Structure formats: C-alpha cells, structure tokens
Amino acid sequence: MAAKLKTLVVSAFKMHGLTLRSEACKYVVEVLGPVNEVEREDIIDKIIETIQKQPLKSSLIDRSVCETAVQECNTEHEDEGDSILYVIDAFSVPRFTYKSDRKKFIPNSTLGISKPSLHGTAEDKALLFRDRYTVLQQRTQRHDLFSPAAVGTDPNEHSKKFQLKPIEYLLGSTSKLGEIIVLGMLTQLKEGKWYLEDPTGAVPIDVSEANFHVGLFTENCFVLAEGWYEDGIFHVNAFGFPPPEPSNTTRSYFGNINMFGGPSSTSLKSSAKMKQQEEDNQDAMFVFMSDVWLDQVKVMDKLRVLFTGYSEFPPAMFVFCGNFMSTPKSNIRLVKEAFDNLAALICDFPQLVENSKFLFVPGPQDAGMGTILPRPPIPNSITEDLCRKIPNAVFATNPCRLQYCTQEIVIFREDIVTKMCRNCIKFPADGDVPKHFAKTLISQGHLCPLPLHVCPVYWAYDNSLRLYPLPDLVICADKYDPFHTTSVDCTIVNPGSFPRTDYSFKVYMPATRQIEDSKIGD
C-alpha cells in the first residue's frame, strides 16, 4: 500500500516538474497515509500548489519545504471551514507564464519573476502583450484545425488541416505567397495604417477586401488573418478570432493548477463534496444589478421593494455594481451618507443581514483611485460604517472573482460593450451586439481586448483580466441593454443599468445554471 502511495506522490510531483528527495517523499507518504483514498489526489495537488508559491531555488524538493507546505495547507483548511463562497480580489490572482518548451504554465514565483508593482516597467508592458499572444497561440495550435494530422491517417484529413505562419515567415519571403493564415495583433504603428504584429515582427496589411467573421474586431485584439502576401503587404481575405476552448479541455491539458485564485479553487472545482452541496442548494441564487444610484430616492424605494420580496427567501448574494452615485465624482461626504442610508435600509431586513452576502463592485466614476484597471475597492473611510452594521458586506476590486462550490464567476463593471462597439474596425452588419461581444471575450480569453489608451490597465496586473481557463459565468455590467448568451459552456451576462432599464436586474440560479430576467414594476 505504501509503495503504491509513494508512486502516486512521485508521479504527481514529476508532472509539475518537481523531484522529491527521499526524506521529503517519505514525509509526504506519512502525511497522506491516514487520508481517504478519494481525497488523496486533491491534497497532493494542494501541497504542490503551496510548494510552487514558495521561492524555490531548485526543482529538487527537500523535507523542510514539504513540511512548510503541509503546515500552510492545514492552516488554510482551518480558516476555510465549510464555506462554499469566496470573493477573490484582482490583486491576488495567481500569476503564471506559459513555457512553450515545457508545454505548461509555470508560477511566476518559481521563475524568479519579481512581484508585480502598480508602477510597472517597460518589460511589464511588453510581457502584457507577449503573454496574451502566447496563451492564444498554444490554445490555437492544439485545436483540431491546426494540430498536425497523426501519421498513417487518411490523406483527406491532411487537406482539412491549416498551418499557422509567424510574421517573420512573410518578411523573409522574396516571392508572392498565397493562402496563408497568421495569428497576430491588430495595431496601428502609424496613424491610420493597420499592421499585424506578433513577437517575430510586424507587417502592413490591406483590409479593404477583408471579410469579418463573428466578433468585434478592435485595435490590440488578436486575430487569425487569412490572405496572401506580395510586395511587402499582407492582403487579408478574411478575419476571424482564435478558436475558443472549453474549460474542461484546458484542464485536461494542464491539470488542476489554480489559475483562478482563491484559497483552494483547485480542489473545489473537482470536489465531489462541493458538487453535492451545489446540487443540494437548489434555492441558492445570486442577484446582479448595476448603476445602483444610492443618491436617488426612486432607486432607494425600489431597493426596499427588492429586499421586501427576498426577505422570506434570502439569496446567497446580492451583487451591486457601481456607479453608486448619479453624478460623477460626487462629494465624499454625500457618498458616505448614501452608503449609511443603504445600511439603514438593509438593517430593516434582519433575515437578509443574517443569511445573505452583499458584494459591492466599484464603477468607473466612483470615489477612489482613477479609472485604471484593476480598480481597488471603494475606500474604507466611506464604507466602514456599513461594514460594521452588515458583517456580510464585502467591498471588492473591479474586476473581482467569486468561487461558489465548483463554479467560477467573474464580475466586471465597465462600459466595455459601448467602448468595443465604438472602437471596432467594422461594425457587424447584423447588429447583434451581444453575440459578437460574447464571441470576442471568449475567443480573446480576456475581459478588455482594447488599446491601453482607450481602457488603461496596470501592466503587471493584466493577468487579473484574463479569462483562461474560461469561467462558468462572466458578469459584464454595462450601460448597454441587458442580455445574456452562452457559448463554449461560458455564460456572458449584462444586467444593464438599474435605473435606465426601468429597474430591471438579473438573477442567477447556480444549481440549474439558469439566468432569469427580473424587474421591479410600479
């Protein structure tokens, strides 16, 4: 039995590029001895995840490193208790880098990459685009259309395959090249002149005859461009996005590494216990609304109606997205008064105070630090009274993440739909903006595939906007009309502006994964 367990431990560590010394291996086997066989793999993954967070000098792991990791896991387990809902702020999302030679994601801490800083360096800006490209490239090359056909397969299968070419392949050619597919970033290196760029170079493109597939094609988004190359210009026949990849497929390649964040999302995602709790909580629900203007009497009246309706059956969480004032950059004293009034209103419903969580995600015009993403929570000086009266209130970053049982949810408050429509090269002919918007986010694997001058991002924290592996639910709170659409097992939802849509909002049922359109009528 011990030999079988030892083999399991050694192979698990090897899969992550780590080798255990004999004493370390013996210690881990002793720790896992009393553990139920069903839970062993989860615990091994957790220990490895904790070890990878340590500043390792070598891939050879000794006993002291394992002891520290086990101690941290025990402390973490005590802190977690039986909680099924975690809020993860954007600044604590794990940072990974894809290594093509090893074909795996490696934690930045083990690569010797320095901790991120708000005041990033030029290298951080370069890594921002390079990492986005690398993630999409490895995902595209694994897709059935681009992966090489197996030896001995039907010759017809070879004809159905495509091959990606780097831009240096074009630049190094002296003759005309026809029917080539290139993965690159759309950019304007010169005013009004479009280029396609990847880590190997940049080439001017002619888009006058290009057909655009589904999606909102903006500057700085990554595209698959099909066309022919002549006289130093790539003539594009068609633009498409890199093919998306379901979360289950991603995890089958990279295992249960914790790229989402949180105390133990690795084990929660595959936990049979959490899956059972998710199914048992049939009545659990999440209420999402945006532009909750606390300085408007009508909005406060509608919130009272909302709380009255839910007081008998409290939701798991109310998610309020900003802006929280109807006038931009309002006086801090007025903002504090508005939150104090909300606290007094919620306290009138003790059932909700006791059983529901209240999550507040700041909007672009709320009090605090600028409009650069990710955005810190609303300052404590404004929210401390509300937090004291309502212990279950959480003021989060924008964006933020939720881990509920086995489900991963991303919440983002930005007028991103509007900005993408305004900045796309060619507006979709059918005008079905929700379909094109959802396709863009899912294919790009990123919340904000826009130029940095349109939507600024802290360079070193761009990973917090990444959607890879794809989460189960993405809330993009925007002033655009409400919608929800599902693709590749990922649901994109816009609850719309609460006051501007006659007080409508969205309700999510995690047990059935259904979205309900709701409205507070007169």
The domain made up of 2-81 has a fold known as Helicase, Ruva Protein; domain 3 (1.10.8)
Residue 507: beta bridge partners? 287, 516
The domain made up of 155-240 has a fold known as OB fold (Dihydrolipoamide Acetyltransferase, E2P) (2.40.50)
Residue 265 has a pLDDT of: 44
Residue 494 has a pLDDT of: 98
For the chain, the distance separating the N- and C-terminal CA atoms, rounded to the nearest angstrom, is: 68
What does residue 80 show for φ and ψ, rounded to 5 degrees?
-70, -40
Show me where the domains of the chain are located.
Answer: 2-81, 155-240, 280-519
The DSSP code for 459 is G
Residue 508: beta bridge partners? 286, 515
Average pLDDT of adjacent 10-residue blocks, the chain of 522 residues = 82 86 88 76 83 80 86 62 82 92 86 84 93 96 83 57 91 85 95 94 95 96 96 94 94 85 63 81 95 97 97 96 89 94 97 97 89 93 95 96 94 96 92 95 97 95 96 96 95 97 97 95 82
The whole-angstrom separation of Cα 39 and Cα 41 is 6
The strand ranges marked E within 80-232 are: 85-89, 96-99, 104-107, 177-190, 193-198, 201-206, 211-212, 222-230
Residue 29 has a pLDDT of: 86
The top-level CATH class assigned to 280-519 is alpha beta
Residue 58 has a pLDDT of: 81
Residue 67 has a pLDDT of: 85
Buried b (16+ CB within 10 A) or exposed e, 84-98: bbbbbbbeebbbbbb
Residue 521 has a pLDDT of: 86
